[in-house]
């Protein structure tokens, strides 16, 4: 049964079609894919960020850190001290109370209205001129500021205007008598010669000068001047020599420590010569080693990947896409103005690749690539190693376990939700492990993990259909979509060939049960079987299940003609399937579900017609063109199809009769060589047979016959007669 197992040992991966074109088989294209991957992988490993230990603010340093190079760092504490020193000699800024100025204005107006004696002192002045002058004076007094000469000099030194500032410091804040020198200045810049008459100006100034005033500190003006002066203070950079200790074990981490570590990291990056021969050699050897590990793994566990350019290109595309997203995220976090790298400590990239690979390939490939990516990211990225590695690997494994049963695209969000729950548990566990029930980074860590997993779900939902289309991959999600009864072919079957459709549904259920029993792809068997007989749509009336008790049209045909009609449903099905865009895997099932078997009924009829002379009957005219089944799923569908059809001829369907029938049918097909090209073992074949029998017995169970119920009906003359009702 397994003579050709070495040739098709890996053809149980039904996600990829068996057909291989030039792209899939070309060694040159395979070499190009490998070269592109190697170059990109080398660049990712070579142009990496310099790693330094990431310490959390206000945490306790787990060990001491010593500088590796000389560097200067921005000393924020020293800069703050310098800025505080430079404004120590900035004096207070005073202003007249706005309420007091308004009150004095009202008093002046009342004086003009109720006391006409003012005209004796200013006979030529008018009310309009007085009001014009007092308006200008009010505005000037509200703008007026007082401070010491030293502060005014500082303002002039830094280019600030002192137009409304006077060198005067009041001794009291209440009932202040402003010196005449101040009023002279106010008069000069408030009342130019052409504004109002000098008599009026003098009268107004004399009136207000005689009053007492309330002053107050102008804090906004003081802060404004202080900020302007501090802005001119240059940042303080402190030099640290190589070998100096930045922080001791057990010390509390401060902003100064973090600034020193960041500056040391920058200095290390600048001192690193990326084009030094040893640096290049190290990156090359590391790339070669990791690539060799990948090749060795696939050679042992999935050799078909190394011989299929489509599979290889798919894996390379997903890996490079993940590396690119990772590098972009790292660059953004490192170069953000608010230093996001300290907030986003555990970005999750590996689950994205894990879900895609598990959906498009299988869980084994997804697990290996996830472990490899986690190792690479931990080695090269500028994140906290321990937490980053644990969270990425754990969430990827949870995603792989959850994706294994993925049937709908929206379930991807559920998968990421499960991964997030596991990540939250790990974050809390790591916090407890470090003897901390709560820290400031706990909530940001949980939210950042949620953000990256949500982003992964969105990207996967968007990219999955694209990958399925470009690489012609059939996932479980795709299979579920082909179960839609609104599909054109299925809708035609229900209308034009209802018997064939019902037969396909029953065979699909049988095949799914049998496939699940031996660990094959049950969902594929169920869905592919729905389409295995679509070729009967060409001539549905020629098949018994669609004749519905009418005349058998084969009575009008010769056995050879009938056989040709029956045989043609395979080629017709292939043509219809390709026209409808069915996956190649479905086309393979259409071709293989009869293998190269004979249409035995019409073959015997032809022999009888030729009076038993075998030489007059060409057996090839009665055989399907094949090929024979080449996968476990294809064999299961063949057996289920044959057994379901044959079981309908049984007078009584019991486990015993079905067992005898299945043994005979399977033995005939085995003797005919129909199982020679598949990977089905004798043990699995026995399990398939047992499952099919149990399923058929269950589906063909008998029901208890319901007794009739006797009713009494009354006649027109009042008599009653018995009547039976089921």
**Long-range pairs for 289-297: beta carbons < 8 A, 24 or more residues apart:** 290/41, 290/45, 290/372, 290/376, 291/37, 291/38, 291/41, 293/372, 294/372, 297/368
CB 567 within 8 A of CB 508: no
State both tokens at 669: 């097909």
CA–CA gap between residue 308 and residue 24 (Å, rounded): 5
Alpha helix stretches (DSSP H) within 544-680: 559-579, 584-592, 600-609, 632-647, 655-671
The alpha carbon of residue 97 and the mean position of all alpha carbons in its chain are separated, in whole angstroms, by 62
* pLDDT for the residue numbered 701: 55
- What pLDDT, in 10s, does the model give residues 367-395? 999 999 999 999 888 787 788 999 999 99
pLDDT greater than 60 at residue 13? no
Q: Are strands 165-167 and 145-147 parallel, antiparallel or unpaired?
A: parallel
Compute the average pLDDT of residues 337-362: 88
CB 323 within 8 A of CB 380: no
CA–CA gap between residue 721 and residue 621 (Å, rounded): 65
- What pLDDT, in 10s, does the model give residues 573-599? 999 999 999 999 999 999 999 999 999
Mean pLDDT of the chain: 86
Cβ neighbour number for residue 189 with a 10 Å cutoff? 12
CA–CA gap between residue 618 and residue 624 (Å, rounded): 13
CB 389 within 8 A of CB 504: no
With a pLDDT cut of 90, the percent of the chain lying above it is 52
- What pLDDT, in 10s, does the model give residues 433-448? 876 666 667 888 999 9
CB 292 within 8 A of CB 300: no
Q: Who wins on pLDDT, 200 or 39? A: 39
CA–CA gap between residue 655 and residue 695 (Å, rounded): 10
- What pLDDT, in 10s, does the model give residues 57-116? 667 776 767 777 777 888 888 888 888 888 888 899 999 999 999 999 999 888 888 887
State both tokens at 264: 């040391």
* pLDDT for the residue numbered 256: 79
* pLDDT for the residue numbered 2: 43
pLDDT greater than 50 at residue 724? no
Compute the average pLDDT of residues 490-503: 95
Predicted TM-score (pTM) of this structure: 0.70
- Closest Cα to residue 629, out of 673, 666, 667? 673
Compute the average pLDDT of residues 393-421: 92
Instruction: Write the Ramachandran bin of 280: left for phi over 0, alpha for psi from -120 to 50, otherwise beta.
Output: alpha
CA–CA gap between residue 211 and residue 194 (Å, rounded): 27
Distances in Å between the alpha carbon of 376 and those of 59, 94, 717? 28, 64, 99
- What pLDDT, in 10s, does the model give residues 265-289? 777 766 677 788 888 999 999 999 9
Q: Can you spell out the DSSP letters for 91-121? A: PP-EEE-HHHHHHHHHHHHHHHHH-TTHHHH
* pLDDT for the residue numbered 20: 60
Angle of CA points 239, 240, 244, to nearest 5° = 160
Cβ neighbour number for residue 184 with a 10 Å cutoff? 11
Q: Which residues contact 432 (CB under 8 A, 6 or more apart)?
A: none
- What residue ranges in 57-144 does DSSP mark as E strands? 65-66, 71-74, 94-96
Give the DSSP H/E element, type plus range, for residue 145.
Answer: strand 145-147
With a pLDDT cut of 70, the percent of the chain lying above it is 90
Q: Are strands 237-240 and 215-217 parallel, antiparallel or unpaired?
A: unpaired
- What pLDDT, in 10s, does the model give residues 16-39? 766 566 777 889 999 999 999 999
User: Strand, coil or helix: what is 14?
Assistant: coil
pLDDT greater than 60 at residue 703? no
pLDDT greater than 60 at residue 716? no
- For the chain, domains (ranges, CATH) are 22-50+278-473 (no CATH), 94-231 (no CATH), 493-699 (1.10.3210)
- Closest Cα to residue 165, out of 261, 100, 229, 94? 94
Compute the average pLDDT of residues 457-472: 93
Q: Which residues contact 673 (CB under 8 A, 6 or more apart)?
A: 596, 628
CA–CA gap between residue 182 and residue 166 (Å, rounded): 7
* pLDDT for the residue numbered 100: 94
pLDDT confidence band for 723 (50 / 70 / 90): very low
pLDDT greater than 80 at residue 719? no
Q: How many residues does the chain have?
A: 726
State both tokens at 419: 């991964």
The alpha carbon of residue 258 and the mean position of all alpha carbons in its chain are separated, in whole angstroms, by 32
- What pLDDT, in 10s, does the model give residues 220-237? 999 999 999 888 888 888
| 8-state DSSP, 651 | S
* pLDDT for the residue numbered 539: 93
* pLDDT for the residue numbered 4: 37
């Amino acid at each position: 049964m397994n003579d050709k197992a070495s040739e098709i040992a890996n053809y149980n991966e039904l996600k990829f079609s068996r057909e291989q074109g030039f792209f899939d088989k070309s060694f040159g294209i395979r070499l190009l894919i490998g070269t592109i991957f190697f170059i990109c992988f080398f660049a990712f490993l070579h142009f990496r960020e310099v790693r330094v230990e990431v310490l959390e603010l206000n945490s306790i340093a787990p060990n001491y850190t010593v500088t590796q190079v000389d560097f200067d760092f921005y000393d924020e504490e020293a800069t703050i001290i310098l800025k505080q020193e430079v404004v120590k000699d900035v004096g207070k800024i005073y202003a007249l109370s706005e309420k007091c100025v308004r009150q004095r204005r009202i008093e002046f107006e009342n004086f003009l209205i109720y006391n006409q004696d003012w005209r004796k002192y200013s006979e030529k002045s008018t009310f309009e001129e007085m009001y014009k002058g007092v308006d200008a004076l009010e505005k000037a007094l509200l703008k007026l500021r007082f401070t010491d000469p030293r502060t005014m000099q500082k303002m002039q030194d830094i280019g600030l205007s002192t137009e409304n500032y006077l060198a005067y410091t009041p001794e009291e804040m209440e009932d202040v008598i402003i010196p005449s020198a101040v009023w002279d200045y106010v008069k000069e810049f408030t009342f130019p010669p052409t504004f109002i008459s000098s008599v009026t100006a003098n009268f107004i100034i004399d009136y207000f000068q005689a009053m007492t005033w309330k002053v107050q500190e102008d804090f906004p003006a003081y802060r404004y001047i202080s900020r302007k002066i501090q802005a001119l203070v240059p940042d303080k950079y402190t030099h640290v020599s190589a070998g100096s200790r930045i922080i001791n074990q057990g010390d509390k981490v401060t902003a100064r420590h973090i600034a020193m570590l960041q500056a040391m990291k920058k200095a290390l990056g600048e001192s690193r010569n990326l084009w030094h021969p040893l640096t290049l050699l190290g990156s090359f050897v590391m790339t070669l080693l990791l690539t060799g590990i990948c090749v060795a793994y696939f050679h042992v566990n999935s050799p078909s990947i190394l011989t299929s350019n489509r599979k290889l290109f798919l894996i390379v595309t997903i890996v490079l896409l993940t590396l690119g997203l990772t590098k972009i995220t790292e660059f953004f976090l490192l170069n953000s103005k608010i230093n996001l790298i300290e907030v986003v400590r555990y970005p999750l990239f590996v689950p994205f690749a894990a879900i895609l690979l598990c959906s498009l390939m299988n869980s084994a490939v997804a697990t290996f690539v996830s472990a490899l990516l986690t190792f690479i990211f931990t080695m090269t990225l500028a994140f906290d190693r321990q937490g980053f590695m644990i969270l990425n690997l754990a969430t990827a494994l949870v995603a792989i376990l959850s994706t294994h049963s993925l049937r709908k695209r929206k379930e991807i969000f559920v998968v990421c939700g499960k991964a997030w729950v596991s990540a939250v548990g790990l974050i809390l566990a790591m916090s407890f492990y470090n003897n901390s029930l709560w820290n400031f980074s706990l909530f940001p860590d949980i939210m950042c993990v949620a953000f990256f997993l949500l982003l992964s779900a969105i990207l996967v939902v968007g990219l999955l259909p694209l990958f399925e289309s470009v690489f012609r991959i059939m996932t479980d999600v795709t299979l579920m979509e082909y179960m839609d009864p609104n599909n054109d072919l299925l809708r035609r079957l229900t209308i034009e060939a209802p018997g064939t459709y019902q037969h396909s549904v029953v065979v699909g259920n049988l095949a799914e049960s049998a496939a699940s029993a031996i660990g094959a792809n049950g969902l594929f068997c169920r869905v592919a079987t729905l389409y295995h007989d679509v070729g009967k749509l060409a001539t549905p009336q020629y098949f018994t299940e669609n004749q519905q008790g009418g005349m058998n049209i084969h009575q009008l045909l010769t056995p050879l003609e009938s056989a040709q009609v029956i045989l043609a449903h395979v080629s017709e099905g292939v043509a219809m399937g390709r026209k409808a865009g069915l996956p190649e895997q479905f086309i393979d099932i259409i071709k293989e579900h009869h293998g190269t078997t004979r249409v035995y009924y019409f073959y015997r009829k032809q022999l009888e017609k030729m009076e038993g002379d075998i030489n007059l009957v060409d057996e090839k005219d009665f055989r399907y063109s094949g090929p024979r089944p080449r996968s476990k799923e294809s064999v299961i569908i063949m057996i289920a199809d044959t057994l379901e059809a044959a079981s309908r001829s049984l007078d009584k369907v019991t486990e015993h009769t079905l067992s005898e029938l299945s043994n005979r049918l399977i033995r005939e097909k085995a003797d005919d060589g129909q199982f020679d090209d598949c990977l089905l073992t004798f043990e699995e074949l026995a399990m398939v047979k047992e499952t099919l029998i149990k399923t058929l017995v269950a589906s063909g169970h008998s029901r208890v016959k319901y007794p009739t119920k006797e009713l009494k009906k009354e006649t027109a003359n009042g008599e009653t007669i018995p009547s039976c009702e089921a």
